[in-house]
Amino acid sequence: MIGLYVPGSTLVHRAPALAKLGLLAVTIAVITVLQEPWQLAAAVGGVGVLFLAARIPPRMVWRHVVPILWLLAIAVPVQALFAGWTAALMMGGRVAASVALAALFTLTTTVSSVLDACQQLLRPFRRWVDGDRVGLLLALTIRCVPLTAEIVREVIEARRARGATGSLTALAVPVIVRSLQSAEALGEALVARGLDD
Amino acid sequence: MSVIEFSRVEHSYGERPVLRGVDLVLGEGRIGIVGANGSGKSTLARMINGLVTPDLGTVTVDGLDVTRQGREVRRRVGFVFTNPDNQIVMPTVSEDVAFTLRKSGLSKPDVAKRVASTLERFGLAAHAEHPAHRLSGGQKQLLALASVLVAEPSVVVADEPTTLLDARNARLIGQMLSSLEQQVVVVTHQLELLDGFDRVVVIDEGRIVADDTPDAALGAYRSLIA
């Protein structure tokens, strides 16, 4: 979601975020309980068709699949030792299909749509939970990932420039201090943008 | 133009006084504030938006007290920070601009229309769906300015908006600030940014030491820091 959204106007892009979120949950639940290899193969094929329908560039699909392949390269053989190859491949297929579906949601849904969906979901509970605040919290959490990554990168560079390469303290202290400063500045900017209530 | 009024304003951070008895009425279209580091100029600018409130005295914008009516003041006064990274909230450029209008009461099509025209105006239309954190420094500052101006404030306060930028991007931001129809208050060390301004206020150790036309005030400032 951190800049992963691929702009588009396909049916997958245009579908309401809340509906997509619901379908994602239901489909993953169904994939989890599939017992027959042909059923799982059909599900994986269906996921592939959805990616094609959303016109996601193959390199973006690859970027999302690679990290899972590393995990599966370890998990599937281990599972095969205990439960046999069929069960292990079924487990691998379930994980891959579920992760691919979640990636498809991320690639075709803007953060603002997700925030709106959260607010809609929380509307029945508005007496107890402020949907706006939860949405803002989610947005800020997502925003803080690249912000913190940038701080870490700068601190590592500064540390190298000063010859302090091995010290964890030399990394942690400035990262924490700068993260707190950034959080304060971000809070001030939110107030300045009228989001102070 | 809005009237910004400081009346006997005092402010301290802990034991350190940063503003000492400031009296000032700002009603011109283009106002510059200059001073050395720690002189109190950023605190003065933040008071216009109500981000900092005075310990003593009052600050008003069109008669609205920034201490008691901060929210109303912030609807009129937009604030641009030095580091645009701290101002970006949403992942994509268009979402970040639209974020300012979340509580504006405008319909979704109206928000989309206003965001599109603002991005067009700031030359960011081609980047609308791009990740905001991957823009260049100049583009990020343009985005910060666009995110403020989409709310159509009557005053724009910019605190050293070009400090982190190269000369070309600093010039671009300067031109953009000069072209605004809003009243503009700029805090800066880059004196060329104040070309064509109506008035410049020089602040030193929390006191106004010069308040004049840019030529006269900047002459006084140069003498002060020489």
Rounded mean pLDDT, B136-149: 89
pTM equals 0.76
Which tokens sit at B210? 């010069």
Helix/strand/coil for A137: helix
Into how many domains does chain B fold? 1
Looking at A10-84, list the stretches that DSSP marks H as alpha helix, in order from N- to C-terminal side: 11-14, 17-33, 37-53, 58-83
What pLDDT sits at residue A90?
Answer: 93
User: Which chain B residue shows the shortest CA-CA distance from A1?
Assistant: B91
CATH number at residue B158: 3.40.50.300
Mutation target vs A (from B79, B96, B102, B136; most A CBs, 10 A cutoff): B102
Rounded mean pLDDT, B134-152: 89
DSSP annotation of B92 reads B
Percentage of chain B beyond pLDDT 70 is: 100
What pLDDT sits at residue B186?
Answer: 94
Q: How many whole angstroms separate alpha carbon B39 and alpha carbon B61?
A: 23
B218 with B212: CB under 8 angstroms?
no
Domain that holds residue B125: 4-225
A15/chain B closest Cα distance in angstroms: 16
* CB neighbours of residue A89 within 10 Å: 16
What pLDDT sits at residue A196?
Answer: 67
Of B70, B78, B86, the CB nearest to A182: B86
Rounded to the nearest angstrom, the gap between the alpha carbon of residue B175 and the centroid of all alpha carbons in its chain is 15
What pLDDT sits at residue B46?
Answer: 93
- Whether residues A5 and B79 touch (CB distance < 8 A) is answered with no
A73/chain B closest Cα distance in angstroms: 32
Contacts of A197 in chain B (CB under 8 A): 71
The ranges of chain A with pLDDT < 50 are 1
* CB neighbours of residue A73 within 10 Å: 10
Mean pLDDT of chain B, nearest integer = 89
User: Which chain A residue shows the shortest CA-CA distance from B48?
Assistant: A192
What pLDDT sits at residue A188?
Answer: 85
What pLDDT sits at residue A1?
Answer: 47
Residue B200's pLDDT band, with cuts at 50, 70 and 90, is very high
Q: How many whole angstroms separate alpha carbon B11 and alpha carbon A61?
A: 55
What pLDDT sits at residue A165?
Answer: 67
pLDDT 10s digits, B24-59: 999 999 999 999 888 899 999 999 998 899 999 999
B81 with A192: CB under 8 angstroms?
yes
